[in-house]
Amino acid sequence: MAQLTVLDQYEMLQKDIEKLKASRSAVFFTECKIAQGEKAIMILPAKSAKGEFFDLVDTTTIDNEVIKNPVNWADMSLKNGKWSYDIALGGEATLKFQAEVIEFLLKSNFKILKPAELGQILKSEPRLRCRYS
């Protein structure tokens, strides 16, 4: 399997956001800052039992704009009132870290965003610092 480039990962995230906009459904959104230039976001569409988590890092500039590269992500699903997730990449320490950030975000306050507001997801600066061990 070919490794995804930064641009591939960024375009994948952009397509996911465009699909959400096209669905014309509001989403629940939360985020937290992991480190300088790195944040975690969670997007849970209002009319779905599925959602997504992304760990985003400022890594490169395209057309004079710093892009947020999704260095890791997880598909989220709601079943029997409990969220589960499948983290895409990582060894034991990374999976533990990502799971702690996901659990932290699930307990944090969510904003409701209209489809037209989804473009701000990648440009927003989190006020909340992620908590993990």
At 78 the pLDDT is: 94
* DSSP-assigned states of every residue in 6-41: HHHHHHHHHHHHHHHHHHT--EEEEEEEEETTEEEE
126 domain residue, yes or no? no
At 59 the pLDDT is: 67
130 domain residue, yes or no? no
129 domain residue, yes or no? no
At 5 the pLDDT is: 67
* CA 98 to chain CA mean position, Å: 11
Dump pLDDT digits (tens) for 57-88: 876 666 777 667 777 889 999 999 999 999 88
Dump pLDDT digits (tens) for 5-64: 666 777 888 888 888 888 888 999 999 999 988 999 999 999 899 999 989 887 666 677
Q: What is the dihedral of CA 128, 82, 72, 63, to 10 degrees?
A: -60
- 19: buried, middle or exposed (CB in 10 Å: 19+, 13-18, 0-12)? exposed
Higher pLDDT, residue 65 or 98:
98
131 domain residue, yes or no? no
Q: Give the count of domains, the chain.
A: 1
The CATH number linked to 93 is 2.40.128
Q: Is the pLDDT of residue 1 over 80?
A: no
At 3 the pLDDT is: 64
- Residue 98: domain span: 6-121
Nearest-CA neighbor of 106 among 75, 83, 133, 80?
83
68 domain residue, yes or no? yes
- Cα separation, 66 vs 50, in Å, equals 29
At 33 the pLDDT is: 95
108 domain residue, yes or no? yes
96 domain residue, yes or no? yes
